[in-house]
Structure 1
Amino acid sequence: MMAGRGGPSEDAAGGPARHIPVLLSDVLDVIAPKAGGIYIDGTFGAGGYTRGILDAADCRVIAIDRDPTAIRAGQAMVADYRGRLGLVEGRFSELDRLAAGEGVEAADGVALDVGVSSMQIDTAERGFSFMQDGPLDMRMGGDGPSAADIVNTMAEVDLARLIFTLGEERKSRAVARAIGRARADSPIATTGQLAEIVARAVGPLRDGKHPATRTFQALRIYVNGELSELAEGLAAAERILKEGGRLAVVSFHSLEDRIVKRFLAERSQIRRGSRHMPEVRAEAPTFKLITRHPVGASEDEIAANPRARSARLRGAERTGAPARPIDPAALGVPRLADPSRDHRHGGRAS
């Protein structure tokens, strides 16, 4: 799920670009930037999609990121585009409210590159990756409980469920028990410590992936509330897009893609009342699909950027129908223990 949001040019986001935006040409095909249009990049990162949109047409972009590091790094890019780019710190689940603060009430397009950015993955101090030892943090915005808080305080039974649900790790109970034993001796403070604990519990994998991959994914998604953020972000995009406006969403694993698929499928169909309640009026679809099936990266793009391998793009066009309320649970967002609660080892994984 490593998004690789950076741009290809030397001065992207105010410095030498280290990252390549995934499926950029396909995203631009969906968004179809036009002169005078207003677009929202809900996941700015290193500015790859934003730069692509601004270079494609004489338009305006409101770019959002919850990571203050990305906001600081993007200031030179704001200067480069001289009034055409507004950069806002915040969550894309509130993109309509944040855009309104910039004077934008309706948009011609919204782009979302879901999940953690390559800049975050590649910075050891952020604690996202088991490939580089660093503090066990994983917070995109620096607020709320860290991954270390979760692994050191959450009840084993809740930890096992979290790792199974968000990481799809079949040995989640063994992982939770191993974490419980380790933290009883001393707190787990670094990514290297956790990776070693998980690797011993899971054992070697046949597909060559690191044994801690799924556990780290689960913790990152949980710490940042990524799935509920995605569901709310889709609803916010629906609210701000004008009729004919385009939505492009790039996701990186099945949990994310399933939410996007369900949202667009439900929003692109006519909702009718039950035959037992004929007085209920049918609700017109709020989107029509642009991509009937998810768009993946080409072999050439994967060769140039291996992180594009798991990327999936879905796109849709807004109709004139009123926006609807969102039910995250109906889209597949799981209900898990609240990360803000103190779990203090309150149970063991069975």
Structure 2
Amino acid sequence: MKYFHQPVMLEEVIEGLNVRPGGVYVDCTLGGAGHSEAILKIINESVTGGQLVALDQDPAAISAAEKRLAPYKDRVLLVKANFATVADVLNELGIEEVDGFLFDLGTSSHQLDNPARGFSYQHDAPLDMRMDPGQPLTAGDLVNSLSEEELADIIKDYGEERWASRIASFIRAERKVQPIETTGQLVEIIKKAIPASARRQGPHPAKRTFQALRIAVNRELEILESAVSSAVQALRPGGRICVITFHSLEDRIIKDLYRRLASPCKCPREFPVCVCGGRKTLRIITSRPVVPSKEELESNPRARSAKLRVAEKV
């Protein structure tokens, strides 16, 4: 299956990163390499210097990018790694300062459209959802091994699903009869658990539960703040960081982190001057998140929940 992912807010990202010829940039979420290719085109305008480091934990993304980015092979380093290890990757490469970091969170179109990966509730497939197929834990493992209470917490906290407890109860009852091994099985359980009146409105009834399991399997929220913090530390003064989120939990983490790094003082408000010694690390460029244009949404409906936040190292 051809690896394709339409890059979200491509022009806005390039502008947000303030990409310049000869700069050093890190794409922490390579995906279909659309953002990486656009960055490389500008980097390549410099006769000397300039480099892009691109990370992805999905070997299919690395393999496809090797072909797509072949014209820039002297300027790009592709690394199979989770962005949680970005500090280690840069250390191993001997890169001390970076001009810009990009995090484009969530799943790629290739992962969603490939039934074998088990991300989609639209296809019947093994209940997998691993972004890195080499990791041991699958969504099926969680569904069949966690307690009812643990499942309910994951579905409620990560999926913001109001019927989380009822879905978890139905899952527990079903797995007593037989293991839950496919996405199709899970979708039918969710449909039975959610009352018909609630299923008639809003998104697909399985959307929130599938989102929650994907986040849990890949530890997406656990690693996000520390990874972005590591990236900020590696930015050179004036360097930019761009983060694209696709749901409220991710966006809240990035919004709060940016604010803390832009206003690190922890002194009580009544203090006339700062005595805690906190130092400002970031300047927030986007006071409100940038969202896709109407034209982009018409051509790429999957971008509808995307939000871009940009900050600059001071």
Do both share a fold (TM > 0.5)? yes
Tell me, what secondary structure is at the counterpart of 1:177? helix
Maintained 8 Å contact 1:252/1:310:
yes
1:241-283 CA-to-partner distances (Å, cap 9, x unmatched) read: 111110000000000000000000111114144579x995321
Distance 1:162 1:123 in 2: 25
Match of 2:8 among 3, 22, 29: 22
What is aligned with 1:225? 219
Number of corresponding residues:
304
Higher mean Cα deviation, 252-261 or 56-65?
56-65
2:19 aligns to what SS in structure 1?
A: coil
CA distance 1:235–1:270, shift in 2 (3 Å): closer
Q: 1:40 aligns with which of 12, 23, 26?
A: 26
Which residue number in structure 2 is paired with residue 190 of structure 1?
182
Show the 5 A alignment for 1:48-127. 48-58=34-44, 59-127=50-118
Q: Which amino acid letter does the alignment assign opposite residue 255 of structure 1?
A: L
1:290–1:279: structure 2 CA closer, same or farther, 3 Å change rule? Answer: closer
In the TM superposition, structure 1's runs of 4+ consecutive aligned residues that sit over 6 Å from their partners are none
Q: Please, what is the CA RMSD of the aligned residues? A: 1.8
Length-normalised TM-score, structure 2: 0.92
The offset of 1:101, in angstroms, is 2.1
Deviation at 1:78, TM superposition (A): 4.3
2:236 is aligned to 242
Q: Which of these residues, 258, 263, 269, is aligned with residue 264 of structure 1?
A: 258
Partner of 1:317: 312
How many angstroms apart in 2 are the aligned matches of 1:16 and 1:69? Answer: 9
Matched with 2:170 is: 178
Higher relative contact order (CA 8 A, sep 6+): 1
Change (3 A) 1:32 1:258: same
Indicate yes or no: 2:303 matched with 1:308.
yes
How far 1:206 moved relative to its partner? Answer: 4.1
Give me the whole-angstrom Cα distance separating, in 1, the residues matched to 2:108 and 2:230: 21
Counting helix residues as a fraction of each chain, which structure ranks higher?
A: 2
Match of 1:285 in 2: 280
SS at match of 1:40: strand
Q: What is the alpha-carbon distance in structure 2 between the residues aligned to residue 104 and residue 79 of structure 1?
A: 22
Q: 2 CA distance for matches of 1:218 and 1:85?
A: 34
Distance 2:79 2:298 in 1: 33
Q: Which amino acid aligns with 2:234?
A: I
SS in 2 for 1:133: coil
Consecutive unaligned residues in structure 1, runs of 5 or more: 1-14, 320-350
One-letter identity of the residue aligned with 2:290: V
Counterpart of 2:301 in structure 1: which amino acid? P
Letter matched to residue 228 of structure 1: E
Question: Aligned letter for 1:308?
Answer: A
Which secondary structure state, in structure 2, belongs to the residue aligned with residue 294 of structure 1?
A: coil
Q: Secondary structure at the match of 1:86?
A: strand
What's the TM-score once normalised by structure 1's chain length?
0.83
Q: In the alignment, is the contact (CA less than 8 A) between 1:136 and 1:148 conserved in 2?
A: yes
Q: Which amino acid in structure 1 is aligned with residue 95 of structure 2?
A: V
Deviations 1:43-81 (CA, angstroms, capped at 9, x unpaired): 000101101111133232100001112112222234320
For the residues of structure 2 that align with 1:201 and 1:16, how far apart are their CA atoms?
A: 36
Displacement of 1:284 in angstroms is 1.5
Q: Percent identity over the alignment? A: 41
Distance 1:77 1:96, change over 3 A: farther
1:17 positional shift: 6.3
Provide structure 2 residue ranges, at least 5 long, that are not aligned to the other structure. Answer: 45-49
Structure 2 contact 242–311 (Cα < 8 Å) conserved: yes
